[in-house]
Each structure stands twice: as structure tokens, then as C-alpha cells.
Amino acid sequence: MAIATTIPASTRVHKRVGALEPIAVTEISKDLRQLLADVFALYVKTKGAHWHISGGHFRDYHLLLDEQAEQIFAMTDEIAERTRKIGGTSLHSIAEIAQHKRLSDQTDSVTAQSLLWGLVIDNEQLLASLRNSHELCAQHNDVATTSLIEVWTDQTERRLWFLNATLEGDPTHRSTE
Ligand SMILES: [Fe+2]
């Protein structure tokens, strides 16, 4: 016969079973806020390039950048909702994006090549941040966030592959650095 047991209120543990430790929530949420701010910044810069790029391969550039912007925008909701799932706080405003982002605001590129090289640099910086975020989440055994970061890393590497292949042979190699 099963015996019903009642846990005395005084001994109840409020942390949900299987939940991350409070320090993990604090550190990962902070990291994801920075990541989200960077991704919003990269989205706007990629869209900006989509709108302003010109030249002999306009249609190809224009379509490639729209495809990349769409993929980047899809990341934003996933990052913010992951932050909420672990019990953290995400971003609420443009001001918070500006406060937390690490990507530069450089937008003075005029040629198609310099616009594309600028995006290479931004995507490379995001890739490095994703690797750092992955390391942090792995340290806290946050397996679901590491799994999502692996997908975002692969997508970022794909965007870099396309941008670099598009710029192959460009004599102004990394002229924006
Ligand atoms: Fe468009």
C-alpha cells in the first residue's frame, strides 16, 4: 500500500528540481543580453547593406543580404525566449540594445566591397562571442542553451562562407580594418 508523504513547509526547497543555479542564471542571462544586442545590431547593419548596396552584382548582393538578415532576425526571438526560460531578463528597448551591444556602429562604407567586408568583420566578432557563450553555458551545464548556440554558430559560419566567397579575389581585401 502506497504511503502518502507530506513535506513540511519549513523544509521545502524553492529551486525547481533540475533548474540552473542562481549564479548560472545571472551569468548566462547577462551573456545572452549582450548576444541579443549584438544580433539586433547585426540585423540592422545587414538590412542597411541590403538597402544601400549597389554595383554590377546588385541583385545577387541584395538577395543574399536579405536572406542573411532574415536568418539573423530569427535568432533574436530564440535568444530572448531562452533567457526567459531559464528565469532571466532580456532586453526591452532600443536604449538597452545600444547599452549592451559590442559590435561597432561604423556605417560609413560606400562601396559594395566595403559594405560586405564590414559584415565579414561583424559576423566574425559574433562568431567569437558565440564560442565564448558556449563555453560559459557548458561550464554551468546549460545543455539546451549550448545546443541553440551550436545552431547559431553554424548559421554564422555559413553567412561568413557566403560573404567571403562573394568577396574572393577582391583587391580591397579587408579595407575597412
Ligand atoms: Fe527588402
pLDDT digits (tens, 9 = 90+) for 90-102: 999 999 999 999 9
Q: Provide the pLDDT for residue 132.
A: 98
- Residue 137 CA to residue 133 CA, distance in Å, equals 6
Closest to 90 measured CA to CA, from 17, 40, 164: 40
Average pLDDT of span 70-78: 98
CATH number (1.20.1260.10, 3.90.79.10, 3.60.110.10, 3.90.420.10) of 30-167 reads 1.20.1260.10
* Cα(50) to centroid(ligand 1), Å: 7
Tell me the pLDDT band of 85, cut-offs 50, 70 and 90.
Answer: very high
Q: Provide the pLDDT for residue 170.
A: 76
- Residue 96 CA to residue 152 CA, distance in Å, equals 22
Mean pLDDT, rounded, of the chain: 91
* Cα(154) to centroid(ligand 1), Å: 24
Q: Provide the pLDDT for residue 84.
A: 98
Residue 160 has pLDDT above 90, yes or no: yes
* Cα(10) to centroid(ligand 1), Å: 59
Q: Provide the pLDDT for residue 105.
A: 86
Average pLDDT of span 15-33: 92
Q: Provide the pLDDT for residue 176.
A: 45
Determine what percent of the chain is predicted with pLDDT higher than 90.
81
Tell me the pLDDT band of 147, cut-offs 50, 70 and 90.
Answer: very high
Q: What angle do CA 111, 113, 116 make, to 5 degrees?
A: 110
> What's the pTM value of the predicted model, to 2 decimals?
0.87
* Cα(69) to centroid(ligand 1), Å: 10
Average pLDDT of span 77-105: 97
Any idea which residue has 566591397 for its cell? 113
Q: Which residue has the higher pLDDT, 173 or 76?
A: 76
Tell me the pLDDT band of 177, cut-offs 50, 70 and 90.
Answer: very low
Question: Are 132 and 38 in contact, with CB atoms under 8 Å apart?
Answer: no
137: burial class by Cβ within 10 Å (0-12, 13-18, 19+)? buried
* Cα(51) to centroid(ligand 1), Å: 7
Q: Provide the pLDDT for residue 12.
A: 53
Cell numbers standing for residue 112? 559594395
* Cα(73) to centroid(ligand 1), Å: 13
* Cα(66) to centroid(ligand 1), Å: 6
